[in-house]
Amino acid sequence: MWSSSRRRLFLSSSFTKNSSTSSSSSIVPEKRYDAVVIGGGHNGLTAAAYLARSGLSVAVLERRHLLGGAAVSEELVPGFRFSRCSYLQSLLRPSLIKELELHRHGLKLLRRSPSSFTPCLDGRHLLLGPDADLNRAEISKFSEKDAAAYPRYEKQLEKFCEFMDSILDSPTPEVMRENSSFMDKMKDKLHKSEFWSRCLQQAFTLGQKDMVDFVDILVSPASKVLNNWFEAEVLKATLATDAVIGSMTTVYSPGSGYVLLHHVMGETDGERGVWSYVEGGMGSVSMAISNAACEAGAHMITNAEVAQVLVDEKTGEAIGVQLSDGTQVHSSVVLSNATPYRTFMDFVPSNVLPDDFLFSIKKADYSSGTTKINLAVDRLPQFLCCNNKSLEAGPQHMGTIHIGSESMEEIDLAYKDSLNGVPSRRPIIEMTIPSVLDTTISPPGQHVINLFIQYTPYKLSEGTWQDSNIRESFAQRCFALIDEYAPGFSSSVIGYDMLTPPDLEKEFGLTGGNIFHGAMNLDSLFLMRPVKGWSDYRTPLKGLYLCGSGAHPGGGVMGAPGRNAASVVLQDIRKSTTT
């Protein structure tokens, strides 16, 4: 089947297997629940797990044939299992892993070392990872000064991440909106005082200099942050990719420093900033969370597309959902793991939500510059700069391979192309090869490769992404760029699956193709996410809650929005039963 055509585009209809459905059915087992979750992405599953563990009857309704949302594993080429969208783990909150006992439920993390490899066309390369001695030796090839500064840079970012931990794991201190009793108002003020007191105490612990530096990294372009620390372009560019990954911004955009920080907030087995592969692919994360939810009694229902949120005409409250086949599923509360745009513009009936709220939701930034290409290859890429003829995996294959990222200027030029509606002429590519550590996802001697590519505009100035010639041309452009660093790479491709921004929107419901459910700019974070005044997972429609990445603290496979949303729902339920 594969010998006649070395390359082939695999469409969604070619799915044959999945590894992300732990307990699913296309039949709704009952028509009334305490809580219904729209969307079986990892945040929706997380919310369901916590609600079910609290004794509520919960149903998760997933439109696709498998659970996981963007954190799924799919066999698109026979024998090859791909992490189709998300492809690395680090941001999943440690509290969630512990509380839901995800390791017991099948989660197995594969730590990468080294974690980063940047090949250069001049024959040099840069390896980085958790080994301090390796980092010093590698960075010294480019700058002794940078080699000495790098440990201090890592230590400062770690301080800032520790400061952020409690903010990530807590609902926002949003203002009360409804008329409440004197006692409820006092409790609310006490709760907010405790939140801000913790922040103030942590600020005192950091000290004034570190707090000024913290504010600086939040508001500054990543280029400024990195220029203040380092002089070697290849080091700055390698680190800068974390500041633009998944966003339609450049390293020179104000606030991109926060995205840089966001991507080092995670950990693997207690080690800060270390990213890992997941055995079986990212669908195994969703499977483990689903297993925890099912053990607690939650129902997982696939092939169940939600068409509309049901609203009680008398009370004006959400009372369940209606599926696309007309089936009504009633519940006391509804949680949406869909993007804010889909939730409020598509699912909630018109004339229910305030006009100013809808205006803010509609005008939010959902732009994307991301394309994901999943490849099956018959051999590992051989990088010229390594002078290694071995067919076995080496250090250069273990972590994230940065292609076309030798300077911050290269990143900016790729971004500027996309502003004109043109896919980057020299794309920024993050290549990962999980099969070097995970032997469960590909045949022996062959490999799975992920290409996370920027920048590809949602709308092209000429033509559309539906044009197969345009799609093939861009894919070949990416392969040709990799060939410059690893000659012969193109000829190793057996088959591939390509997801442009419109594909991500159509297949996974990601508005605009934005993998974070909306921009991660400073005006779209914390008390401003998804919009000002509605950051605490509640919505203007009583009984409807957001639990996805469009809510605080944002995108990535974190689970924090789902966990925090569940705590707010339980708080409201307790309050309603005592009044």
Higher pLDDT, 544 or 269: 544
Sign of CA dihedral 77, 78, 80, 82: positive
Give pLDDT, residue 30. 59
Half-sphere exposure for 274 (CA within 13 Å, toward CB): 20
State the pLDDT confidence band at 6, using cuts at 50, 70 and 90.
very low
Q: What is the pLDDT of residue 510?
A: 97
Residues 251 and 167 sit within 8 Å (Cβ to Cβ): no
Per-residue pLDDT reduced to its tens digit, 151-200: 999 999 989 988 888 899 999 999 887 667 777 778 778 878 888 888 88
3-state SS, 146-176, equals HHHHHHHHHHHHHHHHHHHHHHHCCCCCCCC
Mean of pLDDT values over 214-232: 94
Q: Phi, psi at residue 319, to the nearest 5°?
A: -130, 15
Q: Assign 96 a pLDDT band (cuts: 50, 70, 90).
A: very high
Q: Is pLDDT above 50 for 82?
A: yes
pLDDT band at 28 (very low <50, low <70, confident <90, very high): low
Cα–Cα distance for residue pair 7/479, rounded to 1 Å: 11
| pLDDT number for residue 8 | 37
pLDDT digits (tens, 9 = 90+) for 484-511: 999 999 999 999 999 999 999 999 999 9
Domain range list for the chain: 17-75+89-108+281-365+519-577
Q: Which one, of 387, 374, 383, 431, lies nearest residue 405 by Cα?
A: 431
pLDDT band at 15 (very low <50, low <70, confident <90, very high): very low
Any idea which residue has 């974190």 for tokens?
558
Beta carbons of 241 and 234 less than 8 angstroms apart: no
Say which residue, 578 or 44, is predicted with more confidence: 44
Q: What is the dihedral of CA 264, 267, 268, 274, to 10 degrees?
A: 20
DSSP alpha helix (H) spans, 116-269: 132-140, 144-168, 182-206, 208-219, 222-229, 233-244, 256-262
Report how far apart, in Å, the C-alpha atoms of 402 and of each of 112, 208, 272, 411, 496 are: 15, 36, 21, 11, 20
Residue 563 has pLDDT above 60, yes or no: yes
pLDDT at residue 3 above 60? no
Cα(578)–Cα(558) distance, rounded to whole angstroms?
Answer: 32
DSSP H helices, 372-508, are 395-398, 408-419, 468-485, 501-508
Which conformational region is residue 486 in: left (phi greater than 0), alpha (psi within -120 to 50 degrees), or beta?
Answer: beta
Judged against a pLDDT cut of 60, whether residue 231 lies above it is answered with yes
**CATH for 17-75+89-108+281-365+519-577 (3.40.50.360, 3.50.50.60, 3.40.630.30, 3.30.365.10):** 3.50.50.60
pLDDT digits (tens, 9 = 90+) for 363-390: 999 999 999 999 999 999 999 999 877 7
Reading the block at residue 248, the tokens are 């339609």
- C-alpha closest to that of 391 among 439, 450, 443, 436: 436
pLDDT higher than threshold 50 for residue 225: yes
Which tens digits make up the pLDDT trace of 517-551?
999 998 999 999 999 999 999 999 999 999 999 99
| pLDDT, tens digit, 9 for 90 and up, residues 278-312 | 999 999 999 999 999 999 999 999 999 999 999 99
Q: Kindly report the average pLDDT of the chain as a whole number.
A: 91
Q: Is 154 exposed, middle or buried (0-12, 13-18, 19+ CB in 10 A)?
A: middle
**pTM of the predicted model, to two decimals?**
0.93
Least confident range from 197-201, 397-401, 481-485: namely 197-201
Q: How far is CA 562 from CA 33, 188, 284, 345, 520, in A?
A: 18, 22, 17, 21, 17
274: confidence class by pLDDT, cuts 50, 70, 90: confident
